[in-house]
Amino acid sequence: MQLKKIQLLNFKNYEGLELSFSEGINGIVGENGSGKTNLLDAIHFLCLSKSGFNFSDSQHIRHGSSFFMIQGFFQKAEKEYEVHCSLQEGKSKTLKVDKKPYTKISEHIGQFPCVLMTPYDTDLIREGSEIRRKFFDNTLSQIDQSYLNNLLKYNKSIEQRNSLLKQFAERNFFDKTLIETYDAQILPLAQSIFEKRNEFVQSFIPLLENYYFFICNQKEKISLKYESDLQVADFESEFCQQIQKDLLLQRTTKGIHKDDYIFQIENRSINKFGSQGQQKSYVIALKLAQFELLSQLKHIKPLLLLDDIFDKLDDSRIKKLMELMASGKFGQVFLTDARPERTKSLFGEIKQEICLFHT
């Protein structure tokens, strides 16, 4: 899969821009603050309908403008596609493929897969369980549309159930029949999502281990463990027995929205006991395993987006990434760097051509 051309209008710092890309490695270079990451983020929008860096879509509208537009022209399996994403202030985001809007924007996820690697990826280790769930949900959602649909339904049902619990507390009453209608929706969705996550982790672990060993040239044992409330024998019974606690806290205290993925090295928390280098190796391995699994299951190579990683990685890890690029492991790559001479030198050493774009 390739992104052949992109057009931007009023997106972040770009009033207007049109670029055609190489099918191989594309370097986006320029001084800090010149818009390198913004261009990378526009590509992420085209692939996944949202920013890879900022939660709010409206913050991507150029200052002084009332809308933004991103247009991309992809080639996938001998066919060309035109992807259009735009947002008008005060209106819903629009996403179209070949001028046809989706019934639901979520239908776009997985059509044009991508993997984003940034200096902030170590947040996967340092931060709470929500960011780890988002990473694995991002991967699963690009692979399996039914998984994404069930996840959206589950999150909506949990939101409604929590709202109901707050109403019970505010009005000092409880309607058992009403809460059970939400439970009847939530429980089968939770079971389906749990099974998909559990199965996915089993496929993901060997790839993670292989890439970790490749990156750091060490034989230390790493592991990934999936933890869920649904791993008990009778989750439905436990879920229903939590109602008094749920009423007290005014939120649903058990379910797959509490799941976590435990990252370990030598059977200990990599957050607490891993060195900075070990943590960086682990998150790079996570992203490369994500790329590998998407490639295998989608039967196309995702776009690989690398944001400012050369400034944050040491020479040994950069060398390993360069080896993978030289091997042809990846398809189309987009990377940002504030030092164009470094980018030219790195790719010159592995005899790979790179197309440079100056912001």
Residues 131 and 200 reside in one and the same domain:
yes
Residues 134 and 280 reside in one and the same domain:
yes
Q: Which amino acid is at 3?
A: L
Residue reference for tokens 């299951």: 297
The whole-number pLDDT of residue 351 equals: 83
Domain boundary among 276, 298, 320: 298
What percent of the chain clears pLDDT 70, i.e. is strictly above it? 100
Termini Cα distance of the chain: 25
- Chain centroid to Cα 278, Å, comes to 22
Residues 14 and 57 reside in one and the same domain:
yes
Question: In CATH, what number is assigned to the domain containing residue 168?
Answer: 1.20.1050.90
Nearest to 319 by CA among 341, 301, 345: 345
Residues 52 and 167 reside in one and the same domain:
no
The whole-number pLDDT of residue 202 equals: 96
Lowest mean pLDDT among 55-69, 174-188, 244-258, 342-356: 342-356
Residues 52 and 130 reside in one and the same domain:
no
Residues 294 and 309 reside in one and the same domain:
no
Question: In CATH, what number is assigned to the domain containing residue 83?
Answer: 3.40.50.300
- Is the C-alpha dihedral spanning 89, 95, 99, 101 positive or negative? negative
The whole-number pLDDT of residue 78 equals: 87
The pair of structure tokens assigned to 16 is: 């207007």
Annotated binding site for ATP: 30-37
Answer yes or no: is 218 within a domain.
yes
Answer yes or no: is 265 within a domain.
yes
Mean pLDDT score across all residues of the chain: 94
The whole-number pLDDT of residue 344 equals: 87
Query: CB under 8 Å to 37, separation ≥6 — which residues?
Result: 53, 307, 308, 336
Residues 266 and 328 reside in one and the same domain:
no
Answer yes or no: is 118 within a domain.
no
The whole-number pLDDT of residue 312 equals: 80
CB 44 within 8 A of CB 6: no
Annotated binding site: 30-37
Q: Are strands 67-76 and 2-11 parallel, antiparallel or unpaired?
A: antiparallel
The whole-number pLDDT of residue 97 equals: 97
Q: Using one digit for the tens of pLDDT, what is the confidence trace for 263-312?
A: 999 999 999 999 998 999 999 999 999 999 999 999 999 999 999 988 88
Domain boundary among 298, 326, 343: 298
SS3 annotation, the chain: CEEEEEEEEEECCEEEEEEECCCCEEEEECCCCCCHHHHHHHHHHHHHCCCCCCCCHHHHECCCCCEEEEEEEEEECCEEEEEEEEEECCCCCEEEECCEECCCHHHHCCCCCEEEECHHHHHHHHCCHHHHHHHHHHHHHHHCHHHHHHHHHHHHHHHHHHHHHHHHHHHCCCCHHHHHHHHHHHHHHHHHHHHHHHHHHHHHHHHHHHHHHHHHCCCCCEEEEEECHHHCCCHHHHHHHCHHHHHHHCCCCCCHHHCEEEEEECCEEHHHHCCHHHHHHHHHHHHHHHHHHHHHHHCCCCEEEEECCCCCCCHHHHHHHHHHHHCCCCCCEEEEECCHHHHHHHHHHCCCCEEEEEC
The C-alpha atoms of residue 213 and residue 121 are separated, in whole angstroms, by 19
pLDDT at residue 219 tops 80: no
Answer yes or no: is 45 within a domain.
yes
pLDDT at residue 314 tops 90: no
Residues 108 and 213 reside in one and the same domain:
no
Residues 178 and 95 reside in one and the same domain:
no
Question: What does pTM read for this prediction?
Answer: 0.94
The C-alpha atoms of residue 294 and residue 314 are separated, in whole angstroms, by 27
Domain boundary among 265, 281, 298: 298
Residue 47, domain extent: 1-113+300-358
The pair of structure tokens assigned to 132 is: 């780890």
Answer yes or no: is 69 within a domain.
yes
Q: How many domains does the chain have?
A: 2
Compute the average pLDDT of residues 15-32: 94
**Confidence band of 260 (pLDDT split at 50, 70, 90):** very high
Q: Using one digit for the tens of pLDDT, what is the confidence trace for 117-169?
A: 998 999 999 999 999 999 999 999 999 999 999 999 999 999 999 999 999 99
Residues 79 and 133 reside in one and the same domain:
no
Compute the average pLDDT of residues 58-77: 95
The pair of structure tokens assigned to 265 is: 């090295």
Residues 282 and 319 reside in one and the same domain:
no
Of 226 and 342, the structure prediction assigns the larger pLDDT to: 226
59 burial type by CB count under 10 A (0-12 exposed, 13-18 middle, 19+ buried): exposed
The C-alpha atoms of residue 347 and residue 345 are separated, in whole angstroms, by 6
Count other C-beta atoms under 10 Å from residue 86's C-beta: 18
Answer yes or no: is 311 within a domain.
yes
Compute the average pLDDT of residues 317-345: 90
Residues 178 and 226 reside in one and the same domain:
yes
**Confidence band of 50 (pLDDT split at 50, 70, 90):** very high
